[in-house]
């Protein structure tokens, strides 16, 4: 199971590190290794969030996530995205931006870093919205009940998450964006525009995927209600065929938009990793290779969590991951003005997920005690 899920990650790691050693020597090998660890530490919570979405998709779309999705993640976000940012901010052509990245790495790094306020505002608001919609939803399990119970009651106001996100964006624009750390000057207008774009992106992609998901669940419920009429439906193949075709088509649309949603989430998570990587190197090829290896492990971990049913066994993991997302979103907004070490960012997510995992273990042990007291359960346990 482990080798089957992580086999490609192990192979890509070996190949990537070997390539780094050949092209850049021991120094390049070390840098690529550090970048891989940086990406994994910053994006571990991303794997948990992705697993919560990916488990709703069939095996085909899980394979798409691991193949086409990894191409988008590695080449799109880690290699092409910084070049596109430079081309837009510096008003250069794509080829000029690539030439700049290869031959004038210092200037390239400066241009990418100067675009940080817009990137942080977009990604920060997008991630904050994910957290708010989670915390305002009524859930069967509550990790921090003293927070989540009142939040769930407040969440009955449908637009509350949008209101809070917009207020957060306004406060950010009027405070930290007035004197930014990257590029200097007042970036209030830029931050407002990018933040609104992040909010709109979330509402469109998340809203459409939720619509198709809810529609698919309604169709499944209808099929269950009509289960008693299965014999009659079998006698009318033309009617059954129409119903089945619609359900399959609807499932495809739902999976497609959920895939898009996953890719946007991954993009938002990768912003801090791409910017933080410049503290280690400004070579775009080293950066893409190192961050790409890390991204591969995150995707493999996502599939592993889905196939092992980890989120069902440890019910508070999603809570911890969403709290980590909220923290990362706020950190991204703060970094518009203040420098925050990637070590701090990574540790926040790891600590929150570790605490939620431990809480899940404690809950499972507590729930198992009454069952183990019975002779039947004790017999099964001793047999194992």
Domain presence at residue 31: yes
| 366/75: higher pLDDT | 366
Euclidean distance between CA atoms 131 and 170, whole angstroms: 18
Core vs surface per residue 184-220: b (16+ CB within 10 A) or e: eeebbebbbebbbebbebbeebbebbeebbeebeeee
pLDDT tens figures, 270-301: 766 676 676 677 787 888 888 888 888 888 88
User: Residue 365 falls within a domain, yes or no?
Assistant: yes
Q: Lowest-pLDDT range, 73-82, 112-121, 199-208, 272-281?
A: 272-281
Looking at residue 380, its pLDDT comes to 35
pLDDT at 182 over 70: no
Number of domains within the chain: 1
Q: For residue 379, give the H/E element and its range.
A: helix 375-383
Contacts of 97 (CB under 8 A, 6+ apart): 83, 84, 86, 87, 90, 108
Which range has the worst mean pLDDT, 25-39, 127-141, 162-176, 268-282? 268-282
* pLDDT exceeds cutoff 50 at 378: no
Q: How far is C-alpha 31 from the chain's CA centre? A: 24
* The model's pTM: 0.72
In a domain, 379, yes or no: no
Query: For residue 231, is pLDDT > 80?
Result: no
| Region of poorest pLDDT, from 150-154, 228-232, 325-329 | 228-232
At residue 107, the pLDDT reads 82
Q: Assess if residue 9 is contained within a domain.
A: yes
**Is 150 inside a domain boundary?**
yes
Residue 262 lies in a domain: yes
Residues in the chain: 384
Mean pLDDT of 74-93: 76
| pLDDT of 256 higher than 70 | yes
Q: What is the pLDDT of residue 163?
A: 92
131 falls within a domain: yes
Average pLDDT (214-237) is: 54
Question: What range does the domain containing 75 cover?
Answer: 2-369
How far apart, in whole angstroms, are the C-alpha atoms of residue 178 and residue 136?
31
* 377 domain-assigned: no
| Alpha carbon separation from 269 to 46, 164, 276 (Å, rounded) | 7, 21, 12
């Amino acid at each position: 199971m482990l080798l089957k899920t992580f086999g490609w990650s192990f192979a890509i790691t070996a190949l990537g590190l070997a390539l780094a050693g050949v092209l850049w020597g021991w120094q390049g090998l070390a840098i690529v290794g550090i970048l891989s660890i940086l990406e994994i530490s910053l994006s571990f919570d991303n794997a948990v969030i992705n697993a919560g979405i990916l488990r709703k998709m069939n095996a085909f779309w899980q394979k798409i996530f691991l193949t086409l999705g990894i191409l988008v993640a590695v080449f799109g976000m880690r290699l092409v995205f910084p070049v596109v940012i430079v081309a837009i901010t510096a008003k250069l052509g794509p080829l000029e931006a690539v030439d700049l990245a290869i031959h004038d790495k210092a200037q390239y790094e400066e241009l990418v870093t100067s675009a940080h306020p817009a990137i942080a505002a977009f990604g920060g608001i997008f991630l904050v919205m994910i957290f708010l919609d989670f915390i305002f939803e009524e859930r069967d399990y509550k990790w921090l009940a003293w927070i989540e119970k009142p939040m769930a009651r407040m969440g009955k106001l449908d637009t509350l998450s949008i209101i809070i996100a917009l207020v957060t964006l306004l406060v950010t624009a009027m405070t930290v964006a007035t004197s930014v750390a990257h590029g200097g000057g007042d970036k209030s207008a830029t931050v407002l525009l990018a933040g609104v774009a992040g909010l709109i992106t979330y509402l469109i992609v998340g809203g459409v995927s939720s619509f198709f998901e809810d529609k698919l669940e309604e169709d499944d419920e209808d099929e269950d209600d009509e289960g008693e009429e299965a014999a009659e439906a079998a006698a009318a193949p033309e009617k059954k065929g129409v119903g089945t075709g619609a359900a399959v088509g609807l499932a495809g649309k739902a999976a497609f938009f959920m895939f898009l949603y996953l890719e946007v989430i991954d993009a938002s998570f990768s912003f801090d990793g791409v910017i933080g990587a410049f503290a280690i190197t400004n070579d775009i090829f080293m950066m893409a290779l190192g961050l790409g290896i890390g991204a591969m492990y995150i995707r493999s971990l996502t599939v592993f969590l889905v196939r092992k049913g980890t989120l069902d066994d440890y019910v508070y993991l999603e809570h911890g991951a969403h709290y980590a997302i909220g923290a990362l979103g706020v950190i991204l907004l703060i970094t518009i003005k203040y420098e925050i070490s990637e070590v701090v960012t990574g540790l926040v997510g790891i600590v929150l997920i570790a605490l939620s995992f431990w809480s899940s273990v404690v809950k499972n042990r507590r729930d198992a005690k009454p069952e183990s007291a019975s002779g039947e359960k004790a017999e099964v346990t001793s047999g194992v």
